[in-house]
Amino acid sequence: MGEPAAQSPPLAGLTAIVTGAGRGLGRAEARELARLGANVVVNDFGQPGRDGSGEASAAPAEETAAGIRAAGGRATAHLGDVADFEQARALVQLAVDTYGQLDILVNNAGILRDRMVFSMSEDEWDTVIRVHLKGHFNTTHFAAIHWRERAKAAGGPVHGRIVNTSSEAFLAGSAGQPNYAAAKGGIVGLTTSTALALAKYGVTANAICPRARTRMTEDVFAGFQEPADGTLDVLAPEHVSPLVGYLASPAAAGVNGQLLVVHGGMVAIAERPRIAAKFDAPHEAFSFDELDAVLTPYYAARPPNETFAAAEVLGLKHG
């Protein structure tokens, strides 16, 4: 008997866009998708400051793409601001023109402009919402048009996958990041809406809340340095990217509209908010006094809201 035929990589023949892929988490995701067989369009605006400051540069995207090609993969770099509607259109078109079609969209690009809500300027609010939330919408919009047109031409579903990047900042709160937390919450809403709208075309949309040590999280994970003893670094971005590869694959066809927390050796599936308690009015509607009579004792009996340290919220220990 001859040798069994080698199996094709799970993403062979598929084309992916990864935004913000010049560094950190996006770079790890782009490399993983390429390792799994995908053609990758590496997008990054290339500004050196994590607050979106500095001159745009093609170097980060080019470096990631060159690394993928050196490892035997196929990659094309794209310098562009995904928060700009026309540049997002051009990004999707580049994937189609270069590789024939788009199959996977990983939205990762983002910036930080942290400030307490009473100190935050309008520009600090608008800029973060623009890059994160509008950036996710722009690329999703043009990818959705592409998949809808392909599905209509094919007369049935196509392979389309969206993986969006949210954050536990929206789940647990982040006092100095009202703009970032709001944007990440908005991304979850965008994801679930998109999941419902595109399911009939064969497209899934899911969001991840990654815990990874990158430029964006260097303050959050201060004190959680890479282990020097060779033990698993649970905050390495490379441990997030396999989940992105799975969600992008045909194997995840039944996963849609989900929010997953991921780091190291853990994946947690978040539930949608559930009702914690319910009170019925004694008559047709509540009065102020009746609400006071039921809600005040209820909240008085619950533990007070607390602001947890990063280690407590994230379940991490100092190494």
Tokens of 117: 């809500």
Task: Give yes or no: 152 in active site.
Answer: no
Q: Which of 134, 174, 180, 241 is catalytic?
A: 180
How far from 178 is each of 114, 154, 194, CA to CA, in Å?
8, 44, 24
Q: Which of 99, 134, 184, 249 is catalytic?
A: 184
Q: Which of 167, 174, 241, 249 is catalytic?
A: 167
Task: Give yes or no: 53 in active site.
Answer: no
Residue-wise DSSP of 102-163: --EEEE---------TTT--HHHHHHHHIIIIIHHHHHHHHHHHHHHHHHHHHTS---EEEE
Task: Please name the helix (run of DSSP H) or strand (run of DSSP E) that holds residue 242, with its range, or none.
Answer: helix 241-247
Strands 39-43 and 15-18, how do they pair?
A: parallel
The rounded distance, in Å, linking the Cα atoms of 313 and 195 is: 28
Measured distance between the N- and C-terminal CA atoms of the chain, rounded to whole angstroms: 52
Task: Give yes or no: 180 in active site.
Answer: yes
Catalytic center residues: 167, 180, 184
